[in-house]
């Protein structure tokens, strides 16, 4: 990141004209101040538990923009978060979220290079600006914290803007087509992930009251997990007596494997009602530490003056798609449980590791947004989590605690833009 900063500053000095240049710039900012509470003990969502927390949805951001030369501009955005799922960051530690140069080649063609936002979602470009969407936070069934550590990438994109005539509808559809490539790195719950490269496209179309989006990302990832790294040599050592454990060990490592990300989204405005829906699908290579994840949500809201109630329903699931689980089951056919205590202990640890990746939940949300001022919104939300497949969904369970079948969470957030 420091290399990018130095390169952009050097470029700025090289192209800066001497006498006729009139330096102009703009500052803008946004902030969210939140509090939340989880109904069940031993469960957490960020820093929310069965006592009220104030960090998970709290953040402050500043954005700086300046033209450098004719159609060339610089954008810098910094953020301080109360809570981050990226293990590299401490609470309220400032981070550089955006840093890029943009150049308008023509009126409908733009290129950018630097630190950019990975276009996973409908609200990717305004993900940190809570005021820009209706909810306390975007639905976790699609805006999963597992992807938060990879919300940015270092690279470049090119975007076309245009209109498409639709003679049969006697109408014109506006569209944006973005192509991008880059690299990224993140750490989430002990999983360190390096992505090089990531390539993809994102197409967005507006037709009358309907906005449609499809995004595709292909990425080559290496995944490193500290806990699994301790198990792998033990499993390989034990595979001499129990060969299926070698397959379990192979399923616990991932080195430069390809993944696919598909995302669909729509926003439909009908009279005063707005329907918003998104769906995503992650598909691994099927080998190594490869997973398959999918999620969707559907949201409906309608304003009544300054008050806007909303309802959301969604689901999320994730599981390993390699053969580790099947290989572990086969090991019990060869040496049943209870024959060798050390093998049983090792297989229990492997089974626990596999279960960590097995997640499934349904969520139901009811909330209310109150637009207090032109730049300020107060939001209150109740969310119900239904847990399936012996998991606790997006809520983390403390070690050795009993897994509940469901839980609820109350959140209150004040969003401001300035």
CATH number of the structural domain spanning residue 139: 2.40.160.10
Query: What pLDDT sits at residue 251?
Result: 80
Q: Establish if 76 belongs to a structural domain.
A: yes
pLDDT under 70 in the chain at which residues?
1-23, 87, 166-170
Q: Establish if 112 belongs to a structural domain.
A: yes
Q: Which domain holds residue 355?
A: 25-417
Nearest CA to 409 out of 34, 78, 10, 120 is that of: 34
Q: Which H or E element spans position 316?
A: strand 307-320
Query: What pLDDT sits at residue 96?
Result: 93
Q: Establish if 16 belongs to a structural domain.
A: no
Q: Establish if 285 belongs to a structural domain.
A: yes
Query: What pLDDT sits at residue 6?
Result: 55
This prediction has a pTM of 0.90
Query: Is the backbone of residue 256 left (phi > 0), alpha (psi -120 to 50) or beta?
Result: left
DSSP string, 80-106: EES--SBTT--TT-EEEEEEEEEEEEE
Peptide bond into 197 cis (omega under 30): yes
Q: Establish if 321 belongs to a structural domain.
A: yes
Q: Which two tokens stand for residue 303?
A: 């304003």
Q: Look at the chain and report how many structural domains it folds into.
A: 1
Query: What pLDDT sits at residue 20?
Result: 47
Query: What pLDDT sits at residue 410?
Result: 98
Query: What pLDDT sits at residue 18?
Result: 45
Query: What pLDDT sits at residue 5?
Result: 52
Query: What pLDDT sits at residue 351?
Result: 86
Q: Establish if 369 belongs to a structural domain.
A: yes
Q: Which two tokens stand for residue 101?
A: 């140069």
Q: Establish if 92 belongs to a structural domain.
A: yes
């Amino acid at each position: 990141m420091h290399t990018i900063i130095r390169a952009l500053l050097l470029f700025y000095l090289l192209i800066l004209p001497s006498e006729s240049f009139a330096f102009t710039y703009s500052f803008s900012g946004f902030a969210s101040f939140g509090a939340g509470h989880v109904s069940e003990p031993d469960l957490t969502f960020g820093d929310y538990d069965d006592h009220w927390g104030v960090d998970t949805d709290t953040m402050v951001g500043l954005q700086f923009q300046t033209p450098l030369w004719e159609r060339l501009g610089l954008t810098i955005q910094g953020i301080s978060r109360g809570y981050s799922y990226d293990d590299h960051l401490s609470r309220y530690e400032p981070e550089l979220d955006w840093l890029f140069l943009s150049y308008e080649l023509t009126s409908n063609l733009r290129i950018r290079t630097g630190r950019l936002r990975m276009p996973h979602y409908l609200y990717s470009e305004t993900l940190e600006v809570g005021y820009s969407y209706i909810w306390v936070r975007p639905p976790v069934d699609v805006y999963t914290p597992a992807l938060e550590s990879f919300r940015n990438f270092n690279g470049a994109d090119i975007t076309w803007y245009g209109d498409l005539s639709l003679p049969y509808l006697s109408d014109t559809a506006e569209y944006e087509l973005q192509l991008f490539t880059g690299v990224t790195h993140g750490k989430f719950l002990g999983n360190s992930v390096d992505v090089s490269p990531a390539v993809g496209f994102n197409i967005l179309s507006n037709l009358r009251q309907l906005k449609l989006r499809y995004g595709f990302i292909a990425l080559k990832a290496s995944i490193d997990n500290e806990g699994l790294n301790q198990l792998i040599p033990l499993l390989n050592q034990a595979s001499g007596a129990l060969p299926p454990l070698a397959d379990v060990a192979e399923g616990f490592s991932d080195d430069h494997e390809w993944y696919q990300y598909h995302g669909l989204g729509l926003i439909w405005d009908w009279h005063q009602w707005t329907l918003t829906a998104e769906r995503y699908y992650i598909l691994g290579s099927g080998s190594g530490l490869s997973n398959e994840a999918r999620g969707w949500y559907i949201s409906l809201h309608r304003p009544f003056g300054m008050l806007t109630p909303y309802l959301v329903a969604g689901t999320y699931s994730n599981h390993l798609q390699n053969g580790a689980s099947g290989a572990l089951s086969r090991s019990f056919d060869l040496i049943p449980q209870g024959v060798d205590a050390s093998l049983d202990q090792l297989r229990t640890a492997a089974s626990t590791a596999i279960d960590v990746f097995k997640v499934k939940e349904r969520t139901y949300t009811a909330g209310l947004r109150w637009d207090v001022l032109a730049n300020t919104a107060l939001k209150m939300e109740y969310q119900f989590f239904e847990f399936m497949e012996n998991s606790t969904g997006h809520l983390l369970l403390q070690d050795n605690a009993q897994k509940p079948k469901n839980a609820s969470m109350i959140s209150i957030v004040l969003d401001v833009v300035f």
